[in-house]
Amino acid sequence: MSQITINGVPKNFPVEPDRPFQELLDYLRRHYLMSEEALISSLRINGREIHDEEEEKLLGEVTIADIGPIEIFTAHPREIAEETLQTLIEFCRVMAGISSTAADSIAQGRFNWDLRKLLEGLTSFSEAMLMVRQILRIGVMAEINVLDAEFASVLKDILACQEQQNLTYLRDLLADHLPRILDDWAKSGIPHILKARAS
User: Given a cut of 70, is residue 33 above it in pLDDT?
Assistant: no
Q: List the CATH code of the domain at 78-198.
A: 1.20.120
User: Phi and psi for 6 in degrees, rounded to 5?
Assistant: -120, 120
pLDDT at 32: 65
Cα distances (angstroms) measured from residue 3 to each of 12, 21, 75, 167: 9, 13, 21, 56
The two domains 4-75 and 78-198 share their CATH topology (first three levels equal): no
User: Given a cut of 80, is residue 198 above it in pLDDT?
Assistant: no
In terms of Cα–Cα distance, which of 144, 91, 149, 85 is closest to 120?
Answer: 91
The half-sphere exposure of 80 on its side-chain side, counting CA atoms within 13 A, is 18
Q: Which CATH architecture has domain 4-75?
A: Roll (3.10)
Q: How far apart are CA 22 and CA 27, in angstroms?
A: 9
pLDDT at 101: 93
Q: How far apart are CA 189 and CA 145, in angstroms?
A: 10
pLDDT in tens, 99-131: 999 999 998 888 887 788 899 999 999 999 998
pLDDT in tens, 44-61: 888 888 877 788 788 888
Q: For 15-38, what is the mean pLDDT? A: 77
Question: Domain extents for the chain?
Answer: 4-75, 78-198
pLDDT in tens, 130-163: 988 888 888 788 899 999 999 999 999 999 998 9
For CA atoms 81, 83, 89, 92, the dihedral sign is negative
Alpha helix (H) residue ranges in the chain: 21-32, 53-60, 77-107, 116-135, 142-164, 167-172, 178-184, 190-198
Count other Cβ atoms within 10 Å, centred on residue 166: 14
